């Protein structure tokens, strides 16, 4: 039997992580974003490094320092830019952790110049169009890397998470209640995979990251119990 470290190690593995919030432009100075800080992705990047992996980090808007020692850093602010970056890197990687809070919609009528009030008191119309689902596209692509998804929910956490894991076809899904995690330094998650649904205690984001990476490594090394 392999020893515990070998089972939980990501040595020689290349892991791509997306993190932070995307930013969808309305005009050159305004846009739509969300309150994700990127902290969980940065914690996961460090945990993957500690497990021996080479880490490729693609980030949107983040409110935390970038981790040192990554193999690749790339800023991709919009969902489309993030999609392009991920698919360019996809064939080099063994695992993909999609933590980024990707906007479900982008602005269809982005203005080339700063919007001006037209004086009538009538607000402008912002048209939205759906963004591609980066995680689902990667998970369902040919020779897909091992994919880890996140499900931030504000109600029915377990039911929505099960449905999301099945729909996207990801082997490991991390579910959390947004009211517990957002803006805090701790997190409380449930890990859902083919073998178990494991509720972890509330811990620091670093400890949560270590637990996610340990499970990911077990599943990638197929030493699951
Ligand atoms: N995700 C993605 N690309 C998108 C939307 C989401 O890669 N356009 C990824 C996220 O990084 C996360 C997972 O999909 O790992 C789930 O995101 P979430 O917003 O919880 O789920 P959605 O499928 O967008 O469903 P909904 O927002 O309706 O709950
Ligand atoms: Ca969404």
pLDDT of 180 over the 80 cut: no
**How far does the centroid of ligand 2 lie from the alpha carbon of residue 36, in Å?**
12
**15 confidence band (pLDDT: 50, 70, 90):** very high
pLDDT of 181 over the 80 cut: no
CB 177 within 8 A of CB 208: no
CATH number reported for the structural domain that contains residue 162 in this entry: 3.40.50.10300
Number of domains in the chain: 1
Share of the chain above pLDDT 70, in %: 96
**pLDDT attached to residue 223:** 62
**pLDDT attached to residue 158:** 96
CB 77 within 8 A of CB 103: no
- 84 within a domain of the structure (yes/no): yes
Share of the chain above pLDDT 90, in %: 90
**pLDDT attached to residue 38:** 95
pTM of the model: 0.95
Q: Is 176 a catalytic residue?
A: no
CB 43 within 8 A of CB 208: yes
**pLDDT attached to residue 124:** 94
State if residue 151 touches ligand 1 by the CB under 6 angstroms criterion.
yes
- 117 within a domain of the structure (yes/no): no
Looking at ligand 1, which residue's alpha carbon is closest to its atom 20? 151
pLDDT of 182 over the 80 cut: no
- 45 within a domain of the structure (yes/no): yes
- 116 within a domain of the structure (yes/no): no
**How far does the centroid of ligand 2 lie from the alpha carbon of residue 151, in Å?**
8
Domain of residue 9, residue span: 4-104+125-220
DSSP H or E run through 159 = helix 157-168
Q: Counting ligands in written order, which one lies closest to the CA of residue 178?
A: 1
Q: Which of 34, 109, 187, 221 is catalytic?
A: 34
**pLDDT attached to residue 2:** 59
């Amino acid at each position: 039997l392999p020893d515990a470290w070998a089972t939980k190690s990501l040595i020689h593995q290349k892991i791509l992580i997306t993190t932070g919030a995307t930013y969808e432009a309305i005009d050159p100075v305004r846009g739509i974003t969300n309150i994700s800080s990127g902290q969980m992705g940065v914690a996961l990047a460090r945990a993957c490094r500690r497990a021996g992996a080479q880490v490729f980090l693609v980030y949107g808007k983040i409110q935390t320092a970038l981790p040192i020692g990554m193999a690749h850093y790339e800023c991709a602010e919009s969902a489309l830019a993030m999609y392009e970056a991920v698919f360019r890197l996809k064939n080099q990687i063994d695992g993909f952790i999609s933590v980024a809070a990707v906007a479900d919609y982008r602005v269809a009528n982005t203005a080339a110049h700063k919007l001006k009030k037209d004086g009538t008191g009538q607000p402008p119309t912002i048209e939205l169009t759906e963004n591609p689902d980066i995680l689902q596209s990667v998970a369902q692509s040919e020779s897909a890397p091992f994919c880890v998804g996140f499900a931030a929910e504000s109600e029915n956490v377990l039911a929505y998470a099960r449905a999301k894991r099945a729909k996207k076809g990801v082997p490991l899904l991390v579910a959390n209640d947004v009211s517990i995690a957002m803006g805090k330094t701790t997190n409380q998650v449930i890990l859902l995979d083919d073998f178990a649904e494991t509720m972890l205690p509330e811990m620091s984001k670093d400890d949560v990251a270590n637990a996610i990476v340990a499970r990911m490594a077990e599943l990638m090394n197929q030493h699951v119990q």
